[in-house]
Structure 1
Amino acid sequence: MTDVLVCVKRVPDTSGEVVLTADGGGVDGRYAGWTMSAHEECAVEIAAGIAGDTGGSVTVLTLGDEDSVEQLRSALAVGANDAVRIDATADDYGPADVAGAIAEVVRGREAGGEGYGVVLLGNDAADTGDHQVGIRLAHLLDRPVVAGAQEVMASGDRLEVRVGTPAGTEIYDLPVPAVLTVLEGGVEPRYPNISGRMKAKKAQVEVVEPGAAPQGSGRLGLRVLPPPESNVEMLGEGPAAAPRLVAVLREIGVVR
C-alpha cells in the first residue's frame, strides 16, 4: 500500500494575458481568476493511479490562506481522499520556506505512523517559474527525486518513472519513499463530475500551522517579455501566387 501526498498551489490563470502586481513581485490574479497549474492537475491524476494500483490513499496539500481551499476541493473532486492546508500567506514564502513547511508535515505524519510513500509536486510554479521546491524537499527528507516525471507505475516498494526528453524517453527505477516533480503531458487529468463536486464540497480540510517563520524568496521582481515580432508576406493573389507559394514551401522543407 502506497499513500501519496500531492502538493498544489493556488496560482493565477496564466492562459490569457499576464499582468503583474503593482510592485512587480508576482502575477496579479484578480482579473484572470485562480486555478492550479496543469503540472499539478497531472500530479493529482498520477497520485490517483498510484493509490489505486497499491490500495493506498491520496492526500492533497497546499500552503495558503482560506481562498486556497478552492484548489484543494478541486483535487478532492477528482479522487483525492484527504486535504491539508498549511495556514500561511503564500506570498511571504520562498521555495526554501515552502519545502521546509511541507517537510514538517511529512515528518509529523511519519511520527504518527502515517507516512507518505510518494510525494508529488508540480515541476515548477505557474506564477513565478520556481523549479526548486521538489528538489529542496527531497533533500530535506533524504529521499531520491526525479524531476519532470510524466508517467509513474508503482509495483511493491518500487517506482518506474518515465521522463520525456528531446532525445527520447528516460526510465528511472527507484525505491519508495521518493519525491517526484510532475511535468504535464504524460497523463490526461480527469475532470470532476457532479457527485465528485458534491463530495468535495462537504469534505473536511485539516488546517495546520507552520512551525517556522518564512525567510522569503529574495526575488527582486518579475517582468513580462514583449511578444515576439511577426512578419507577414503577401505571396500574391489567385493563380499568380502559386509559383511563390511552391518556392516558400521548398524553403521551409515542406516539399522538395
Structure 2
Amino acid sequence: MNILVCVKRVPQTGGRIVLTPDGQSIDTRFLGHTISPHEECGVEEAVRIVEKEGGTSAVLTLGPAEAEEQLRDAMAIGIDRAILLETGGTEWDPVSTAGVIAETIEAQEATNGEFDLLLFGNEAADTGDYQIGVRVAVALGRPVINGIKEIWFSDDRREVLARREAPGGGWETFDLPLPAVLGVKEGLNLPRYPSVPGRLRAKKKEIERVALGASPSGALGLGAGEDAAGIDSAIPGPTKLRLRLPAEERTAAEVIGRGPEAAPAVVDLLERIGVVAR
C-alpha cells in the first residue's frame, strides 16, 4: 500500500488568540503550532497500514516554511517522506488549496507511482472548511467518504472498507475501490508520541519543497485566466470581510485574606460549599 496523508499546520488550542490589525487573520507569532487532531489520526493510520501491509507512506502540507516542523513530527512517528508546498504564509482559499494539492499528487504519482489511499482530516482545526479532501477527490476522479473512524481492506486489497457514525446512532460502512480518498476523524486510533530515535531520524531526512509564493496565481505553471483549481478566474469567489473575537467573559474575584490570616476564611468557604464539615 502506498499512502499519502495531507496535513495542516494549525495553532495549538489553549493559547490567547490575537488578530492582525487588519482583522483578516490570526496573529500566530506567539502561538505554538501542531497538526489538526483529525490529521494526527490520519498520520498514525498511514503508519499502521504500511507496518501491516508493506509499501510506503508520505505526508504533504501546504503552508509557510515553518510547517517543516509538522512534517518532521509526522516522519518521527514513522512516515517515510514529506512534501512541503511552501507559501508566503498567507491563508489560501479551499478551491486554490485543493487545486494545487491535486496537481501535486498527479505529479508525484507520475514520478513515484499511484497512491492507493489518500487520507485527509475531516476538517481543519482552525478554519473547519470540510472541503479540501472532497475537492481533491473530485479533481482526481476518485471515490471519497468523510467522517471515517475505522478502516480495513478487502482480502484481495483492491477495495478499502470504511466505517463512520450514522446520524441518530449506529454505523455506516462503505466499500470503495482503490485508489480512494478518506476524510478521517479523531477517534480513528490513538496516535503514538514520537520517540527520541524517531525524531533524530526525521531530523536527517530531506523534505521535498515546492515554492508556490504567497498567491495561488501562477502556482505550478497554471495558464492565464485559471486559478489553482483550473477554474476561470473571472468567476467571483467569496471575500473575507474580517474576523471577530467573541466577547471575553470576565469573572469576579474576591480577596478573602492574605497569608496565614486567610486560613479561617478558607475553612469557612470550604464548609459553605460542602467540602469539609466541622
- The verdict on a shared fold, with TM-score over 0.5 as the criterion, is yes
3-state secondary structure, aligned to 1:77: helix
Give the paired residue count. Answer: 234
Output one character per residue of 1:126-163: Cα deviation in whole Å (capped at 9) or x when no partner: 12221111111111011111111122113301111121
- In structure 1, stretches of 5+ residues that fail to align are 231-235, 240-256
Higher mean displacement: 155-164 or 36-45: 155-164
Name the residue aligned to 2:190. 188
Q: Distance in 1 between matches of 2:54 and 2:112?
A: 17
Name the residue aligned to 1:162. 163
Q: Distance in 2 between matches of 1:137 and 1:100?
A: 7
Name the residue aligned to 1:222. 243
Output one character per residue of 1:30-61: Cα deviation in whole Å (capped at 9) or x when no partner: 22211111111111011112222321211001
- In the TM superposition, residue 65 of structure 1 has moved relative to its aligned partner by 2.6
**Structure 1 residue runs of 4+, over 6 Å off?**
227-230
- In the TM superposition, residue 227 of structure 1 has moved relative to its aligned partner by 6.3
1:66/1:168 CA distance change after superposition, 3 Å: same
1:1-256 to 2 correspondence within 5 Å? 2-155=1-154, 156-165=157-166, 166-209=168-211, 210-211=219-220, 212=222, 218-226=239-247, 237=272
1:111/1:91 CA distance change after superposition, 3 Å: same
RMSD value, Cα = 2.5
Name the residue aligned to 2:256. none
3-state secondary structure, aligned to 1:61: strand
1:223/1:84 CA distance change after superposition, 3 Å: same
Q: Distance in 2 between matches of 1:123 and 1:219?
A: 23
1:199/1:113 CA distance change after superposition, 3 Å: closer
Query: Is the CA contact (8 Å cut-off) linking 1:6 and 1:61 kept in structure 2?
Result: yes
Q: Distance in 2 between matches of 1:207 and 1:43?
A: 21
Given the two structures, how large is their TM-score scaled by the length of structure 1? 0.82
Name the residue aligned to 1:245. none
- In structure 2, stretches of 5+ residues that fail to align are 212-218, 252-270
3-state secondary structure, aligned to 1:7: strand
1:140/1:24 CA distance change after superposition, 3 Å: same
Given the two structures, how large is their TM-score scaled by the length of structure 2? 0.76
Q: What percentage of aligned pairs have identical amino acids?
A: 42
Bigger Rg, which one: 2
Higher mean displacement: 210-219 or 89-98: 210-219
